[in-house]
């Protein structure tokens, strides 16, 4: 009898400690991967060789807001610059925003500006919907 009472108490304690995860997100319940996504641009000189650029800026034209890319540009890949990441996906709408990215070639002082359409918001990850992969300076 004493054993049965202990087992019954253990089961009751276990069931009482379980609670449903009721955390609410602005997007509702989602099942997403743990993948960390980024969207970026490769910059190259007139021969196609990757270069480090100056004055890299990202501006959300749709919301009229200056953005800071979610990941610092660590130069892990020369010439690749992050325009959006999952760190700042709520800066973008679910259907996509027009983003203006600009940078200057330090060798020629030429500035190039391109538009991309990037989605985020209630999507699981940021994604590029349109725009160039590489910007080549003249």
User: Tens digits of per-residue pLDDT, 93-116?
Assistant: 999 999 999 999 999 999 999 999
Pairing mode, strands 134-136 and 38-44: parallel
The predicted-structure confidence for 27-41, as pLDDT tens digits, reads as follows: 888 888 889 999 999
Half-sphere exposure of 65 (CA within 13 A, CB side): 11
Q: Average model confidence (pLDDT) for the chain? A: 82
CA 76 vs CA 47, 72, 79, 108, 132: distances in Å: 21, 10, 9, 24, 20
**Global confidence as pTM:** 0.73
- SS3 string, the chain, reads CHHHHHHHHHHHHHHHHCCCCCCCCCCCCCCCCCCCCEEEEEEECCCCCECCCEEEEEEECCCCEEECCCCCCCCCCCCEEEEEEHHHHHHCCCCCEEEEEEEECCCCCCEEEEEEEEECCCCCCCEEEECCCEEECC
d(CA 138, CA 43): 11
- Work out the pLDDT band at 20, boundaries 50, 70, 90: very low
Q: What is the dihedral of CA 86, 87, 90, 95, to 10 degrees?
A: -20
The predicted-structure confidence for 48-93, as pLDDT tens digits, reads as follows: 999 999 999 999 999 898 887 655 555 678 899 999 989 889 999 9
- How far, in whole angstroms, is CA 93 from its chain's centroid? 12
């Amino acid at each position: 009898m004493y054993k049965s009472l202990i087992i019954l108490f253990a089961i009751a304690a276990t069931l009482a400690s379980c609670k449903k995860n009721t955390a609410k997100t602005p997007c509702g319940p989602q099942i997403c991967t743990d993948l960390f996504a980024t969207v970026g641009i490769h910059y190259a000189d007139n021969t196609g060789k990757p270069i480090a650029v100056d004055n890299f800026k990202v501006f959300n034209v749709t919301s009229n807001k200056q953005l800071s890319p979610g990941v610092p540009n660590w130069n892990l890949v020369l010439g690749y610059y992050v325009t959006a990441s999952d760190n700042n996906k709520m800066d973008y709408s679910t259907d996509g925003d027009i983003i203006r990215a600009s940078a200057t070639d330090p060798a020629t002082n030429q500035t190039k500006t391109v538009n991309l359409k990037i989605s985020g918001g209630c999507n699981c990850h940021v994604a590029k919907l349109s725009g160039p992969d590489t910007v080549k300076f003249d």
